[in-house]
Each structure stands twice: as structure tokens, then as C-alpha cells.
Amino acid sequence: QVTKVAVSWTGGVASVCIASGNNIQVTFLQDFGDLPLLIPDGTNLGQTSGSDTPLITAQKVVTGDKESDICSSHGTCDEEKGICQCLDDWMTSDGYGNAGTRGDCGYLSTGTTSTCPGEPACLGHGTCLGPPTYRCGCESGRNGPDCSLIDCPTGKSWFSFPTADNAAHSEAECSDMGICNRNTGLCECASGFEG
């Protein structure tokens, strides 16, 4: 279900469907990142002229580039509950840096920041990227807003969709048969699996 979009069209008329055709633009205002192409459904399109066949197509005009980072890189995700635990001074946003209800840690309640999270910065496991975001660039094997989370080992996925002919079982954390304990960097394997 799409909740926030802006729809506009050319043609200079009040109606979207006109005999000479029209270009309709849909801009996503809430779902960020590089979204998949809309798939138009013209099965219910009709035309008053018997000689014309209705046609509807879609193309991507602008690739989304607004961030879609887990907890806006200002919190950690409680994977069991699906809820962000925000860093101090960070709260849920509207997706545009203002207070809101997304549950994403994208709103800085104190106005501005001039340091990276952690003491020392990035807990000594990364580099502070400085202004304007003051985010941590974590060293290999570490992640999270302050580099406190430890990556788990990867292996061939037990269950994953093929990516091409003769290409399947891509690398996945805990081989997709366990949950990563980010405090220890160890996999908590599903029943019947070990390693």
C-alpha cells in the first residue's frame, strides 16, 4: 500500500486521460531509496474511438537517492521486535529530518550535532566522517551507528533465490540458518544446524 505520493501530469487539462495522450509522474514522498518500477495495469482502460487502442507504459525518470539506512544510522534495530533503539538525542522522524512517526531515529531533538557517536568517537572501531552527518565509517567486521555491532561470519545461503542461470546460494550472514548475535559476532543457529 502506497501512502504518500505526489501525482502530476502534463497536458494542461484537469483530466489525466485525454485523446492525445498524457505523461503522468508519480513521486514517492515516503518510501526512500531506489524503488522498483511501477507496473501499470491498463486492462480497464477504454477508448471511445474504435480505431485507437489504449496504451499505458512506465519508465523511471529519476532514481531515488534519499537514504534508506537502518534506523537512519542513528540507532540500532531490535531485530526481534522490529523497533529502533535510537542514540541519545535522536528520535523518530517524518523522513525529512523533522519530528514524525516513522520510528527511524532520523530526527535530532537537540538541533545540531558536532561529534560522532561513541566515546571515543566510533568506539575506536571506525573513523568519524565529520560534517555534515557526523557518521561513523566502521572498520571491516563492525557496523552500527557507533561501530558497536559485530558482524557474524557468512557462508553459502541454504535458501535464497537464484540470481541468474546457474547462480544460486549467494553468501549470507549465518548462511541464512541462524540469527547473528551482534554483541559477540557469533551465529545462534537454527535447530539442526551448527558451525
CB 70 within 8 A of CB 77: yes
Provide the pLDDT for residue 66: 62
Summarize pLDDT for 31-50 with one digit per residue, the tens.
666 777 788 887 777 666 66
Residue with cell 485523446: 19
Pairing of strands 126-128, 178-181: unpaired
Per-residue pLDDT, 170: 84
Q: What is the pLDDT of residue 99?
A: 92
Asked if 49 contacts 32 with a C-beta cutoff of 8 angstroms, the reply is no
Q: Using 70 as the pLDDT threshold, list the residues of the chain that sit under it.
A: 1-3, 11, 31-33, 46-53, 64-68
pLDDT for the residue numbered 7: 85
Nearest to 147 by CA among 118, 185, 187: 118
pLDDT of 84 reads: 92
Task: Give the DSSP per-residue string, 11-54.
Answer: SSSS-S--TT---EEEEESSS-SSPPPP----TT---SSTT---
